[in-house]
Amino acid sequence: MSEKQSNHSNLNILLLIGVAAITFILLGARFFQLNITQSSHGEDLVEYIEDSQDPRSSIIEAKRGTIYDIQGQPIAIDTTSYSMYAVLQGGNGYDAVEDRDYTAKVLSNYIDMTRDEVLDILLNYEAIQVEFGTAGRNISQETRDAIEEENLPGVYFVSQSSRQYVNDYFSSHLIGYASKQEQNNSWMPTADILTGQIGIESAYDAELSGQNTIENNPDLVERTRTLLGEDIYLTLDSRLQHYMEELLDYSYNKYQPEEMSAYLVEVETGKLLTAAQRPTFNLNTREGIETQWTNQLVEEVYEPGSTMKILTQGTAYDMGVYEPNELVETGSTEIEDVTVRDYNLYGWGPITFDEGLSRSSNVTIVELIRRIGLDNWTDQLTEFGFGQTTESGLANEATGTVEFDNPVSATMSGFGQGFATTPIQLLQAFTSIANDGKMMKIQYLNGIGENNEFQPIEINQPISEEAADHIVDLMVNTVNEEYGTAQEYSVPGVQIAAKTGTAQIANPDGLGYLEGANDYYFSVVSFFPADDPKYMLYFSMKRPTNDHNLMGSQILAEIFRPFVEYVSVYE
């Protein structure tokens, strides 16, 4: 090869190397622009991809946490369904329906519409896209998959999450419900997010809804949104709750009271095992919610009646203000200018204070309050948790009050009149009687997410163990002795400690109380088995309108006995 040819060859090689270097630099710059700055020709590629996203790419909707009972059985779960629509004018990545007649024929095999009805919708030449009414909503995963296998151009689906409750009626006001709330997002189509409205669904909405996260796949073709909600575990027991709901249905329909409630508590831990009320509502359809929005457990404030006497008597026993065999005259007594009478008006002559509890004497309780002293008694009500929140975490929890404007109301509070409380306050205070004087916080939450180890909370010890045990014995007498007012609550094979209550109802139109034959708030608190209480069962009923010639205590006993038997066998 000549020197001239060699120089020419070297020049070509250098030229090729230069072109390759320039190309590499340009490609590197382009790679940097696409992957680091994510822009091209002044266009934000992230925004562009989001705007032109493949309509068939998936948008993962919110996954709300599941609510479980104490046995791990689901109570509230998320379900996914689909809505179908058809694109009639394609563009922006969307295919349009090609053969409208064929598409109508195929779709009519899968949704509740005839071929002609579907075709009528598809023949709308002015619309860009169309939907298929109720027939095109709530489509199952199986149906959606079957339609997609037909490969119909222009037919698309949007996933929708909905909240489903395993049982229509299941502690409805405590569980609450979640419903769709419209959310506008800049990076995805408008989505409806499930949001808790009342009850636990509302109180723990943040935990159930979780945190927003954005996930991008490597080639930036698809962007998805996931709400990772925590699961919640409750102390409610589904099997016990189901039976409680059945019994309340029976009694509520038969005797037609204004309200009823029923709660079962594990006294040593404060776990709320059942919580039911009437009126109630259907968790899935919301039918009945307009009748009563109130969660009676924490929002209902009422005068509890004679069930309060067990707390009064326990306090008096602890303070040593009466002797075991000391007699007191019954029938009537005076508080300032007010006469307080026993329920039989004439009393039983002179009886002991302990017998007075079993007979549910108002007069003996008034005498005990005198000896305790009003200031000491008011302080003791605070120790029992009245007049203050239980910190249940539920919305609109009422506190009642222990601030009395006259000595009459303060004294009458000893037998459950003249002051107001909530069921959860009563349940919490009553745990001290059944639990050796230790008052336990009433809890319905067993755990959240992986942290589901229940922790009992002892609030304080308002009475001694000796006083608590003594009151339980007196409550056994109330059931077993011929003079006891709770004889209807005897259950074969189970030793029951019980105390009934019959409270007057304040007149909503003025001073005083309602005076009708059934204008009372009937209740019963019980502990069983009485020799070592494990459970506390509380029933209440307000103003039955069809009593079938039965007393309030007899009406409640009809559902009390079978439930106690069921719990005893269930163990």
Catalytic residues: 306
Other beta carbons within 10 angstroms of residue 311's beta carbon come to: 26
Name the DSSP class of 75: E
Collapsed DSSP state (helix, strand, coil) of residue 82: strand
Q: What is the DSSP string of 274-306?
A: EEEEES---TTT-TTTTT----HHHH--B--GG
Collapsed DSSP state (helix, strand, coil) of residue 466: helix
For residue 66, give every residue at least 6 positions away whose Cβ sits within 8 Å of its Cβ, in sequence order, or none: 74, 76, 77, 78, 231, 232
Collapsed DSSP state (helix, strand, coil) of residue 170: coil
Q: How far apart are CA 120 and CA 123, in angstroms?
A: 5
- β-strands 67-68, 232-234 pairing: parallel
- 448, β-bridge pairs: 232, 451
For residue 493, give every residue at least 6 positions away whose Cβ sits within 8 Å of its Cβ, in sequence order, or none: 568
Cα four-point dihedral sign 369, 329, 353, 440: negative
Do 381 and 413 form a contact (C-beta atoms < 8 A)?
yes
Cα four-point dihedral sign 187, 188, 189, 194: negative
Name the DSSP class of 488: G
User: Using omega within 30 degrees of 0 as the cis cutoff, is the peptide bond preceding 257 cis?
Assistant: no
Phi and psi at 27, nearest 5°, equal: -65, -40
Q: Residue 468 is inside which H or E element, if any? A: helix 465-480
Cα distance between the two ends of the chain: 105
R_g of the chain, CA atoms, integer Å: 35
Other beta carbons within 10 angstroms of residue 447's beta carbon come to: 18
Collapsed DSSP state (helix, strand, coil) of residue 126: coil
Q: How far apart are CA 493 and CA 566, in angstroms?
A: 12
Do 385 and 398 form a contact (C-beta atoms < 8 A)?
no
Nearest by Cα to 175 from 425, 424, 445:
445
Classify residue 45 by burial, with Cβ atoms within 10 Å: 0-12, 13-18, 19+: middle
For residue 476, give every residue at least 6 positions away whose Cβ sits within 8 Å of its Cβ, in sequence order, or none: 495, 496, 497, 530
Q: Residue 522 is inside which H or E element, if any? A: strand 520-528
What tokens appear for 313 in the block? 């008597």
Cα four-point dihedral sign 401, 402, 403, 407: positive
For residue 172, give every residue at least 6 positions away whose Cβ sits within 8 Å of its Cβ, in sequence order, or none: 199, 280, 281, 282, 283
